[in-house]
Amino acid sequence: MKIRTSLALVATTLLLSFPLQAQLSKTEKKIAASVEAHQGEALKLIEEVVNINSGSMNFDGVRKVGQIFRTRLDAIGFQTRWVDGTPFGRAGHLIAEHKGKGKTLLLIGHLDTVFELASPFQQFTMINDSTMQGPGVGDMKGGDVVIIYSVQALKDAGLLKEMNIIIIMTGDEELSGKPLSLSRHDLIEAAKAADIAIGFEDGAGDPKTAVIARRSSSNWELVVTGVPAHSSQIFTDNIGAGAIYEASRIVNGFYEALAGETNLTFNPGMFLAGSTVEHDKDMDGGSAFGKSNIVAKQAVVTGDIRAMSPEQLKNTQETMKEIVSRHRPQTTAEITFGEGYPPLAPTDGNYQLISYFDKVSKDLGYGPVVAVNPRRAGAADISFTAGYVDMAMDGLGLGSSGGHTVNEKADPRTVVMQAKRASILFYRLTQEKISVGRGK
């Protein structure tokens, strides 16, 4: 992580210090000028929202941040509404829509952070002209502000009135409400109405990259039972192997069968076993009691799966179920799979979208943009657009480092850079005739 972070910061510095010759139209120069004119305002907005705690479970804080962005979007000309999160146990989501003509763009952000009220990390600090620190500067209040000032620039240039844009800022990206069918219902419905989806997470934290593929993230639970007895009787016909041997066989079987799959990971994160097991599902932990001279009666293992495509996820689950079914003597085992974030596969449309973004970046003088290796990109809300939009891309947030830690930092200079690149990309996408994917 330290190596990746330092390289990202070096890349950002080079990107900002040595611009290439810009190749912009007169209209695009107006867009870029608007972004520059609002730079100070944008940084003040980041400071304002970062100083409001909006941990996923601080519903009041999430709503306050949402209201600040809602007010800004109302002023720009969007029709906004708040989706109450009570049915899925969270604060809710901000949705803003602007009706125009042509292609519909879906812009995705989130209002919450991983830092709850109990966290010691609560304040925004401007360390110097290239570093700001605070909860959410990178993930992803900085990205939300990029959205705001990208559409502001389009309005200032007189272009927004012609555009179809939907903005969704979810209130529970870091700790999703349940069931996902409710908590992501509005996002999925927006994706069905859109042609192109663009997310403003910080991705790999390097503005020279964008994300066109994300792996899925879903959980699994393995429950194993054996026959309890004195340890001297293990392996006999009546007692068999016990729960721990069976659970160990299964988990090792997963490794032997699947560890070589490209872009696939499956991690057993919690293992409880003994004579009795108390599994706290809400906390994904628990306790177990046992003794060295007793054959274990129970074992519970929980973990996650991250796959590159729906097909890979399905095949992995089928393989895991087949391994579970080969019971050791006098044991039973069952594996169940929970809901989760779907994969965002690297489609032709996604590659085409990053090529457009790469061209915009070069024309602005910021250099090329390349796709991030999916192993460096976790699950995110953009994945719920998969299969509904013709093109999808994420990672248009700020240059950043230290995400999800008290060392979270971002480069304030990248606010202008990302807002320029995004707003001109939006303009070009709505001007060009694009036909890929589903062909809406």
Burial class (CB in 10 A: 0-12, 13-18, 19+), 186: middle
In the three-class reduction of DSSP (H, G, I as helix; E, B as strand; rest coil), residue 383 is classed as helix
The SS3 call for residue 55 is strand
At residue 16, the pLDDT reads: 53
For the ranges 64-73, 117-126, 369-378, which has the lowest average pLDDT?
369-378
Q: Which of 410, 421, 417, 419 is nearest to 130 (CA)?
A: 410
- Cα 331 to Cα 298: distance, rounded to the nearest angstrom: 10
124: CB partners within 8 A, 6+ apart: 46, 47, 50, 51, 132, 133, 134, 137
Distance CA 55, CA 392 (A): 27
pLDDT at 434 over 60: yes
* C-alpha to C-alpha distance for 63 and 398, rounded to whole angstroms: 23
* Band of residue 17 on the pLDDT scale cut at 50, 70, 90: very low
In this predicted structure, which of 192-201, 275-284, 299-308, 404-413 has the lowest mean pLDDT?
A: 275-284
Per-residue tokens: 7:
């390289």
Domains of the chain, by residue range, sit at 2-214+344-431, 217-341
- Longest Cα–Cα distance of the chain, Å, equals 85
CB atoms within 10 A of CB 267: 12
Q: Around Cβ 422, how many Cβ atoms within 10 Å?
A: 26
Contact call for residues 10 and 354 (beta carbons, < 8 A): no
Query: Taking the C-alpha atoms of 28, 33, 36 and 37 in order, what is their torsion angle to the nearest 10 degrees?
Result: -140
Q: Is the pLDDT of residue 14 over 50?
A: no
Cβ-proximal residues to 354 (8 Å cutoff; 6+ apart), any chain:
210, 212, 369, 370, 371, 393
Q: Give me the pLDDT at residue 418, please.
A: 98
Strand pairing class (79-84; 400-401)? unpaired
Amino acid at 208: K
Structurally, at CATH architecture level, domain 217-341 sits in: 2-Layer Sandwich (3.30)
Q: How many angstroms from the chain centroid is the CA of residue 307?
A: 14
Closest among 111, 101, 174, 138 to 8, alpha carbons compared: 138
What is the average pLDDT across 354-383?
A: 93
3-class secondary-structure state, position 440: coil
Tell me the per-residue pLDDT of 24-72, one tens digit each, with 9 for 90 and over.
Answer: 999 999 999 999 999 999 999 999 999 999 999 999 999 999 999 999 9
Return the CATH superfamily for domain 2-214+344-431: Zn peptidases (3.40.630.10)
pLDDT, mean over the chain: 93
Q: Per residue in 295-327, pLDDT tens?
A: 999 999 999 999 999 899 999 999 999 999 999
Angle, in degrees to the nearest 10, between helices 413-431 and 2-17:
70
Instruction: Fill in the amino acid letter for 279.
Output: H
Q: Please name the amino acid found at residue 2.
A: K
List, in sequence order, every beta strand (DSSP E) within 14-112.
Answer: 79-84, 92-98, 101-110
pLDDT at 294 over 50: yes
Closest CA to 371 of 389, 356, 387: 356
What is the C-alpha separation between 107 and 96, in angstroms, rounded?
10
pTM attached to this predicted model? 0.87
Residue 161 CB coordination number (10 Å):
12
Judge contact between 222 and 166, C-beta under 8 A.
Answer: no
Contacts of residue 52, Cβ cutoff 8 Å, sequence gap at least 6: 61, 64, 65, 68
Q: What is the pLDDT of residue 412?
A: 98
User: Tens digit of pLDDT for each residue in 239-258?
Assistant: 999 999 999 999 999 999 99
